[in-house]
Amino acid sequence: MRFKKLDLNLLVALDILLEERSITKTAERLSMSPSAVSNSLSRLRDYFEDDLLTQIGRRMVITPLGENLQSQVRNALNNIESTILMQPNFEPDKTERIFSIFCSDYTLTVLVPHILEIVSEQKSTARFKFLPQVEDPHEQLEKGKADLLIIPTEFVSKDHPNEILYDEKFVCVVWEQSDLAQGEMTIERYANAGHVVMRPAPTRPNYFENQFNQKFDIKRRIIATTFSFAVLPSLIIGSNNITTIHSKLAYKMASFLPIKIFDLPFELPEMHQCLQWHQYRNNDEGLIWLRNLISEATLRMNETTHKKSV
């Protein structure tokens, strides 16, 4: 199919070429031969009168026009998918869709079990891919790799719609047999303890450190770092160390770990956990169903956490 002398089939190849910047990898993803992909790139170069990708040494480098086209091509394909190719009627108990959701292991631990519980109750045939949270989650929406993001408000994109799922406060957790478990948790005891922390991606702002340094003049003595929120309560058992985590995660872990939970001895702003989707997917019936389901799962999670904390 051609539109203004452009073979629209080439847009799919262009989208992947600009992302992978490799003829071989593009060929693998499209189940085409490298020579066929090279021919597609040649035709694209002729149409746009630009190299789009330039070979420098062993790497292919994207040109300025290629950079400009990348988001536009991806948005065009997203628009086609959401308005033309998407099935108009979504039936949860007959669908074969696989939903991709990017989230943290904290979300996997406290919220996702309730999501899957409701999916099972509804006898839905939908399937899910829960993928690790990445440094720039909104790019996964732009590239069509994510149907939904579940992320804190500071990471949402202004270019796409979002809604707040719930608010979350932070607490500190210690081993129930440690010295720190005895008595009141003061700022001094908190500051002097060894801390086990989850470190975000190197280029992300460190939420906790920023709060401590700017508002409370506390510099934590960090004993160990990890890539996982969910493992933090396990890592302080048997020691006089402390960890600061989400309250919902803490109360869930307290049901089977020998830990004690304290309110923070200072006021740390709550985290607002958000749900975000692509602007072209507002009317996607499958995503509307899933967004409503996640909202219901959030209510169940909040009820469960309240019972455990009382």
Per-residue pLDDT tens for 123-141? 999 999 999 887 777 778 8
Give the DSSP letter of residue 178: S
- Amino acid symbol at 169: K
Q: Quick one: what percent of the chain has pLDDT higher than 70?
A: 86
- Provide the pLDDT confidence category of residue 2 given band limits of 50, 70 and 90: very low
At residue 224, the 3 state secondary structure works out as strand
CA angle 236, 237, 238 (to 5 degrees): 110
Nearest-angstrom CA–CA distance, 239 and 170: 21
pLDDT score recorded for residue 183: 94
pLDDT score recorded for residue 80: 64
pLDDT score recorded for residue 69: 81
Residue pair 61/22 in contact by the 8 Å Cβ criterion: no
pLDDT higher than threshold 80 for residue 21: yes
Domains, the chain, in order of start with CATH, read: 2-85 (1.10.10.10), 98-167+272-309 (3.40.190.10), 170-269 (3.40.190.10)
Nearest-angstrom CA–CA distance, 308 and 19: 46
Residue pair 63/45 in contact by the 8 Å Cβ criterion: no
DSSP assignment of 2-68: EETTEETHHHHHHHHHHHH--HHHHHHHHT--HHHHHHHHHHHHHHHTS-SEEEETTEEEE-HHHHH
CA angle 162, 150, 224 (to 5 degrees): 140
List Cα–Cα distances, 15 to 57, 84, 134, 138, 144, in angstroms.
Answer: 23, 18, 21, 17, 11
Per-residue pLDDT tens for 158-189? 889 999 999 999 999 999 999 999 999 999 99
Residue pair 130/112 in contact by the 8 Å Cβ criterion: yes
The values of phi and psi at residue 193, to 5°, are -75, 160
Residue pair 13/44 in contact by the 8 Å Cβ criterion: yes
In terms of Cα–Cα distance, which of 101, 77, 78, 127 is closest to 276? 101
